[in-house]
Structure 1
């Protein structure tokens, strides 16, 4: 038996409200030769029953039922058993356009790509409004990227402006295996380190200017509320830095990488709910104290712009959030 053309990995945690739409968008794809791996990540609502009802009636569906281990670890589990020629991901509250797999597989196959990216479109759950934004439209990739195969070198000047969403891409399975691609486990923002590692290792990339993925915005979305989950922005940044250093990308990208690493937690500290500001400050401070003891400290001093450098040095200077806030009221 030949391997399926695409393996779809869907991890769901308490998605009873949305999971039917997600699964139906996959089983009704115009491309039928697919494998559907659905991970129930310890849901406490009716999610598992809904998944099983589809699993029992469609032989392409493989169901993994497990204790809650988080999105990164669940996706890694799915990737280990995925047998498709290409792999893609879906979140339990989102859905694909009906011809998404056919279009993206044709593109990836004809251009022999490691990664093919497509546009995402936002759906507001409350109003039913569908709307675009530059980030998910891949507008940083101008028309010179249309209908070609390119390498990461071509996007070097704006690498950190690219959308990191793993659901926005189709990946060659053998490529992911050859580089031991994996999501960080136990933290939110797992897409970010995964994307940069995989993207910079790719040799052949292409884009599709079509909205193939619908991204639902609702009150429970992780990225919708800036709450304690955003404490993980520090660890995600550390993991990103480790991957750049371990894979030999650091020197080529350090100017933008350092700015990007500082900026995530900096913006989070500005926007995060009041009750999470002190714990976030503490995590940032611990991270910066560690950086100070490494050979990379001078790079931060040399490469950061004035605003980010002031933030970096002020975090090191003040013992606690209250003192820091007195001198930096915008946070």
Structure 2
């Protein structure tokens, strides 16, 4: 059996309301030389039976216990046969010519990865709307060009980290041993920065090829217990930058980015999770204080982030922190 040009990886967990639409958006593509690897991540609803209702030789199904999005994508990547890889979330969908346009761009320019635009869909109102983040406005000046990460040194933390917004050369991902952190949410973020900074040839497509559904259960719509993982995701990110000797070049923006994720999460997370998140942040910052990087945080953080950092360290508990940081 010859290898397909593209492997589309679709992890899903309890997506019975949306999974059929996601699958159909792949099967109905104008580009037909693909395999669709669907990972049922221990769904407790009718997701698996809906998946099994599709009869198409291009579909491959992994049915596993609930391991989370990182492990789901890693398991699919290990068996993917395509020359290129794309990712789709179970509640989203592709434009009908997405694969065709993405494949043409990445092959003609021989890129390691190519970005394309995403557009938002509000599930409640039916409204479709754009934003600068998913429109890749940070990269506007590079439209039509092939570039490397060294050409975007001051803006990498303004880029969309979403794994579904890119097509990747499979041989490149395997060469750099790219994989997602497992057991945490926000796994896209460390994966993206590792892959982006390892890439030599990158391009962008200024067309909306991907529809991103916003609904009540969306991970970024509800600031719930998943946001506890902003702390371990930030720790993984720091480790990646240090191990790959990118830390010194990017530390000013990296340290601000690392502080801001948990800082905003602590502000907006549901009340019942605030103490648990505070304690995770406190443990992380206490370890930083005894590390060689402590002075870098003191010297590079702006006043608001620095006060947050020091107030967490100085506080005895969450209530004490609230008084200090008011």
Q: Smaller-chain TM-score range?
A: over 0.9
Mapping 1:125-274, distance limit 5 Å: 125-142=123-140, 144-274=141-271
Does the 8 A contact of 2:147 with 2:202 survive in 1? yes
Alignment of 1:34 with 2:31, yes or no, is: no
Q: Distance in 2 between matches of 1:145 and 1:9?
A: 28
Deviations 1:17-36 (A, max 9, x none): 00010000000111100011
Of residues 302, 307, 310 in structure 1, which corresponds to 2:307? Answer: 310
Structure-2 residue corresponding to 1:119: 117
Mapping 1:35-114, distance limit 5 Å: 35-54=35-54, 57-114=55-112
Q: More deviation in 124-133 or 245-254?
A: 245-254
Local SS of the residue matching 1:220: coil
In the TM superposition, residue 238 of structure 1 has moved relative to its aligned partner by 0.3
Structure-2 residue corresponding to 1:288: 285
Alignment of 1:275 with 2:276, yes or no, is: no
Q: Distance in 2 between matches of 1:193 and 1:146?
A: 25
Q: Distance in 1 between matches of 2:22 and 2:314?
A: 48
Structure-2 residue corresponding to 1:15: 15
Q: Distance in 2 between matches of 1:193 and 1:271?
A: 22
Local SS of the residue matching 2:319: helix
Does the 8 A contact of 2:311 with 2:321 survive in 1? yes
Deviations 1:35-94 (A, max 9, x none): 11000000111100111111xx10010001011000000000000011101001000000
Structure-1 residue corresponding to 2:2: 2
Q: Distance in 2 between matches of 1:328 and 1:226?
A: 21
Q: CA RMSD in A?
A: 0.7
Is there any run of 5+ residues in structure 1 with no aligned partner, and where?
none
Give the TM-score normalised by structure 2: 0.99
Q: Distance in 1 between matches of 2:324 and 2:297?
A: 21
Does the 8 A contact of 2:307 with 2:325 survive in 1? no
In the TM superposition, residue 2 of structure 1 has moved relative to its aligned partner by 3.1
Deviations 1:268-295 (A, max 9, x none): 1111111111111110000001111111
In the TM superposition, residue 12 of structure 1 has moved relative to its aligned partner by 0.6
Q: After the TM superposition, which segments of 4 or more aligned residues of structure 1 sit over 4 Å from their partners?
A: none
Q: Distance in 1 between matches of 2:174 and 2:282?
A: 36
Q: Distance in 1 between matches of 2:41 and 2:310?
A: 41
Q: Distance in 2 between matches of 1:256 and 1:194?
A: 18
Aligned residues: 326
